[in-house]
């Protein structure tokens, strides 16, 4: 659970530990309280994408430095999750009458 920019987000991961001691993340459930969700699809997309980048960082990605410079230059040498590696993701947006808060939660003009 984390609060940032007046938005509260909680996540729970369903993980399977296999007989060979490897594991898989099978499902992630996310609850987000961001005030009025002006565009729920964008809120869901931001939660799913953030979870994907966070999970990739936890499982396989790293940024390394050499002589004070970042070694990785783009996605060919900085691994992110591919769609076929994503767990099932469920996003629940809490209904609220509070003003929209810190997610990409505004309509485009």
Phi, psi (rounded to 5 degrees) for 100: -55, 145
Q: What is the pLDDT of residue 109?
A: 41
Specify the pTM. Answer: 0.82
What is the CATH T-level fold of the domain 2-93, as seen in this structure?
A: Aldehyde Oxidoreductase; domain 4 (3.30.365)
Q: What is the mean pLDDT of the chain?
A: 90
Nearest to 29 by CA among 43, 9, 5: 9
What is the domain partition of the chain in residue ranges? 2-93
Beta-carbon contacts of 57 under 8 Å, excluding residues fewer than 6 positions away, are none
42 burial class (0-12, 13-18, 19+ CB within 10 angstroms)? middle
17-64 pLDDT, tens digit each: 999 999 999 999 999 999 999 899 999 999 999 999 999 989 888 889
């Amino acid at each position: 659970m984390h609060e940032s920019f007046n938005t509260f987000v909680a996540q729970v991961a369903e993980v399977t530990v296999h007989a060979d001691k490897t594991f898989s993340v099978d499902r992630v459930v996310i609850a987000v309280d961001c005030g009025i969700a002006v565009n729920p699809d964008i809120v869901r997309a931001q939660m799913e994408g953030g979870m994907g980048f966070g999970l990739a960082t936890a499982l396989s990605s790293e940024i390394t430095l050499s002589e004070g410079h970042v070694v990785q230059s783009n996605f060919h040498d900085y691994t992110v999750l591919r769609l076929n590696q994503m767990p099932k993701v469920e996003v629940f947006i809490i209904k609220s009458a509070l003003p929209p808060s810190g997610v990409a939660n505004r309509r485009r003009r």
